Structure 1
Amino acid sequence: MNDTVGGGVVGVMASASSLSSTLLLQNSLNFPSHNQRKPFDSSSFLFSAEKGPLFVCSAKKKVSFVDQILDYIEGGPKLRKWYGAPDLLPKDGATEEDEDEYIGDEVRDAVLVTDGDSEMGQMVILSLIVKRTRVKALVKDKKVALEAFGSYVESMAGDTSDGRFLKKAFRGVRTVICPNEGFLSSVGSLRGVQHVILLSQLSVYRGRSGIQSLMKSNAKKLAEQDESALANSGIPYTIIRAGLLQDTPGGKQGFTFEEGCAGRGSLSKEDAALVCVEAVDCVPQSAFMFEVVNGENKVSDWKECLVGLMEKANQKLQ
């Protein structure tokens, strides 16, 4: 690899360290597509109906510079297959629902993202992929999700009120991330899950008045029910009370964690996804809740930051 290519690869590797840089790479690299695919979601940042897929690779062509970057980042052929998504189903045509019941124990090393086809869900999933985490996701359309995420995400579609489906969804899962309200209050059991992370907008909803309060009354009710369900679950949980979520680039600002800030400030959606993913490795003994908005404080060590916030929360309870 020549100096120019090598330098580009190193630059992309540095960019892959954050979600914001990943999105910046997407916006700056736009290659023509020979296989235009259906967009994953109208709000999806993974695919664009106008611009087409982020990376397009052809087995008939010589390995391109982009393919060399992918080789360097994630082992080449796997990631090229991911973005191309050539196989939507197993070779025998069987679907996941046709498989026999799981037999035996499985290591719980996966993170399950609810609402995986929502904008926030997709952002959380991408942040987890960047950290090379085993990801499962609840989606509405599994085939469309497979086109978007490929084999790097185990996408599951089903009725969350069905205990059998939930048992299958939670198989191998240690942490559940809920990027939107409504899931926790609708499920009967989280058996086997070791940590639940909820991105809550409850502080924002409570701070609204007049017609805005009426418009968000249902969302407020769901958020309250979700937080109540967690409190009664007996499972260690983290509630991230975020400020008003906005479509602004992440990684550009710092953070503030002061009490009451969520009702007054705002938070980039990309930064909110980052905070959710960073909370995965900081499991509380029981309950942990903190507020966060964009601010002036830069965070260089998220584990240290979250542990510090957890200690302060525990001191207030004593």
Structure 2
Amino acid sequence: MVLVCASSTLPLTNSVPFTSHISTTPFGSSFLFNNRYTSNVSVFVCHAKKKITFVDRILDYIEGGPKLRKWYGAPGLFEKDDTSTSDDGGEDYPEDEVRDAVLVTDGDSEMGQMVILSLIVNKSRVKALVKDKRVALEAFGNYVESMVGDTSDNRFLKKALRGVSTIICPNEGFISSVGSLQGVKHVILLSQLSVYSGKIGIQSMMKSNAKKLAEKDESVLRSSGIPHTIIRTGELQDTPGGKQGFNFDKGCAGSGSISKEDAAFVCVKALEFVPQTGFIFEVANGENKVSDWKECLAALMEKSS
């Protein structure tokens, strides 16, 4: 038997497919092949494992890699299990508590996951409302404080909002279904209302419920008195982000489209600009390259006023 360790550029012929999930040596995966010149000779090709960093995993996702990444050995940022409200006892949190977290609603939805990953890259403290905490832990490790509960329960909602400065809603339905958001300083709503309003025929019927939820969310948010940013995007597309610029012209959301990754990126960039009252703008992919998002959003607000 001959053991051959080679680089990935070594030409190999008549080999069976590489099986990456089977590791028979300490160096990584291997495979066995035979041909007419190497009868009864087992050849193992070994590749030294390259350590994949957390940042590499995030960047790989954003550039089109697998949607959920699992990593281990993350720092124990959130040791306490926050899925239970049994020990709350109606506790009143001090008004001067530090509020530096961003709460993502629908954290296990596709858009929610993309917003969370953008927030992690942004080095934000992230909390997320999810349906399955174990899945969220496998996906994001302890970089996200995941919470499971009924948001119509005031005790759970109060606990979920502890330490939260900003809420990002990547899907419709949350704002119109909860009670008081006391203490929250900024709400960012990703709205598809312009897209739903542009649907006709059977597509309009299919999106009628989503449209009603989006309309109600926007209405409740506008009357809430909480500083808010409503981002009306073009139709969301499963295309890689960061490849195109942006379009902020009036009507672009109804006629244009935007990468889901870019939409999540815009939500996170909206953290940089907190309006005094309310702010609504449209965005789709286009030719405009933005270098300073705070300045861009300020200009859009001035233009819309």
With the length of structure 2 as denominator, give the TM-score of the two structures.
0.76
Higher helix share: 1
Which among 297, 304, 307 is matched to residue 288 of structure 2? 297
Distance in 2 of aligned mates of 1:245 and 1:302: 21
Name the aligned partner's letter for residue 276 of structure 1: C
Distance in 2 of aligned mates of 1:175 and 1:45: 25
Distance in 1 of aligned mates of 2:189 and 2:175: 9
**Residue matched to 2:172:** 181
**Residue matched to 1:46:** 68
**Residue matched to 1:231:** 222
**Equivalent residues of 1:89, 1:95 under 8 A apart:** no
Name the aligned partner's letter for residue 293 of structure 1: A
**Residue matched to 1:246:** 237
**Residue matched to 1:82:** 74
Residue aligned with 1:148, SS: helix
Using the TM superposition, give the Cα deviation of residue 146 of structure 1 relative to its aligned residue in structure 2, in angstroms. 1.5
**Equivalent residues of 1:88, 1:143 under 8 A apart:** no
Name the aligned partner's letter for residue 119 of structure 1: E
**Equivalent residues of 1:88, 1:147 under 8 A apart:** no
Q: 1:196 to 1:88 in 2, by over 3 A?
A: closer
**Residue matched to 2:279:** 288
Distance in 2 of aligned mates of 1:104 and 1:195: 19
Alignment size in residue pairs: 252
Using the TM superposition, give the Cα deviation of residue 98 of structure 1 relative to its aligned residue in structure 2, in angstroms. 5.3
Residue aligned with 2:165, SS: strand
Using the TM superposition, give the Cα deviation of residue 225 of structure 1 relative to its aligned residue in structure 2, in angstroms. 0.3
Using the TM superposition, give the Cα deviation of residue 202 of structure 1 relative to its aligned residue in structure 2, in angstroms. 0.2
Using the TM superposition, give the Cα deviation of residue 189 of structure 1 relative to its aligned residue in structure 2, in angstroms. 1.3
Distance in 2 of aligned mates of 1:189 and 1:267: 32
After the TM superposition, which residues 42-191 of structure 1 pair with which residues of structure 2 at under 5 Å, given as runs?
A: 45-47=67-69, 53=70, 80-82=72-74, 96-97=84-85, 99-100=87-88, 105=94, 106-191=97-182
Distance in 1 of aligned mates of 2:125 and 2:290: 25
Using the TM superposition, give the Cα deviation of residue 104 of structure 1 relative to its aligned residue in structure 2, in angstroms. 5.2
**Equivalent residues of 2:83, 2:149 under 8 A apart:** no
Q: 1:145 to 1:24 in 2, by over 3 A?
A: closer
**Over residues 232-265 of structure 1, what are the superposed CA-to-partner deviations in whole Å (9 max), with x where a residue is unaligned?**
1010000000000000000000000000110000
Using the TM superposition, give the Cα deviation of residue 22 of structure 1 relative to its aligned residue in structure 2, in angstroms. 3.9
Q: Mean alpha-carbon deviation: is it higher for 134-143 or for 197-206?
A: 134-143
Name the aligned partner's letter for residue 120 of structure 1: M
**Residue matched to 2:264:** 273
Distance in 1 of aligned mates of 2:231 and 2:120: 21
**Equivalent residues of 1:82, 1:149 under 8 A apart:** no
**Residue matched to 1:72:** none
Distance in 2 of aligned mates of 1:182 and 1:96: 23
**Residue matched to 1:206:** 197
Name the aligned partner's letter for residue 183 of structure 2: G
Name the aligned partner's letter for residue 289 of structure 2: K
Indicate the percent of aligned positions where both proteins have the same amino acid: 67
Residue aligned with 1:196, SS: strand
Distance in 2 of aligned mates of 1:148 and 1:127: 14
Using the TM superposition, give the Cα deviation of residue 82 of structure 1 relative to its aligned residue in structure 2, in angstroms. 2.9
Distance in 2 of aligned mates of 1:88 and 1:268: 32
With the length of structure 1 as denominator, give the TM-score of the two structures.
0.73
Gapped regions of structure 1 (runs ≥ 5): 1-7, 28-43, 48-52, 56-79
Name the aligned partner's letter for residue 235 of structure 1: I
Distance in 2 of aligned mates of 1:206 and 1:23: 32
Distance in 1 of aligned mates of 2:63 and 2:272: 26
Name the aligned partner's letter for residue 222 of structure 1: L
